[in-house]
Amino acid sequence: MKCPFCRTDNDRVIDSRACQDGFSIRRRRECLKCKRRYTTYERIEESTIKVVKRDGSRVPFTRGKIKSGLERACWKRPISDREIERTVAAIENDVYGSFETEIDSQRLGELVMEHLRDLDEVAFVRFASVYRQFADAGDFVAEVRPFLSKAK
């Protein structure tokens, strides 16, 4: 591993810990040349799952896209980065646990919405409005109605 500061390929591992439900390892490293410390993550290289888009094209499943979508939906909501990371890990585990080679983009979107519904109602409606391409206020009302009936 090259040091991100001095680019020397000589370091030592100070600490290793399992993280993200045990599917990755966080390592604290120290460069032996410049003595600075940095963190690396080691993940299992899994078989690539393809997302089948609406137009029939196939793209690799990327954790970063899921995280980005969740962060946008949760913007200015009382949701910590740790909760978002935990949700992304849960979605990723569901995808790799339930699908062999491909997942339909509609099914992936529904999976994200299932997890968001439990995390935050406002973030859920934000995500649903983009994912389901709401056309007017009636679409919002239809999506929020189950939450209102549950609250009574």
Domain-located, residue 94: yes
Are 54 and 39 within one domain? no
Are 18 and 68 within one domain? no
What pLDDT digit, counting tens, does each position of 112-146 carry? 999 998 899 889 888 888 887 777 878 777 877 77
Per-residue pLDDT at 46: 64
In the sheet where 24-31 sits, what is the strand order? 11-19, 24-31, 37-43
How far is residue 30's CA from residue 137's CA, in Å, rounded to a whole number?
55
Reply yes or no on whether the pLDDT at 152 is more than 60. no
Are 83 and 37 within one domain? no
What pLDDT digit, counting tens, does each position of 93-109 carry? 899 888 888 999 989 99
Q: Which percentage of the chain shows pLDDT scores above 70?
A: 93
Are 38 and 55 within one domain? no
- As for how many domains the chain has, the answer is 2
Residue 104 bridge partners (DSSP)? 52
Domain-located, residue 1: no
- Which residue range(s) make up the domain with 142? 50-151
Q: Closest by alpha carbon to 69, among 20, 24, 111, 100? A: 111
How far is residue 119's CA from residue 44's CA, in Å, rounded to a whole number?
27
Section 21-31 average pLDDT = 88
Are 86 and 131 within one domain? yes
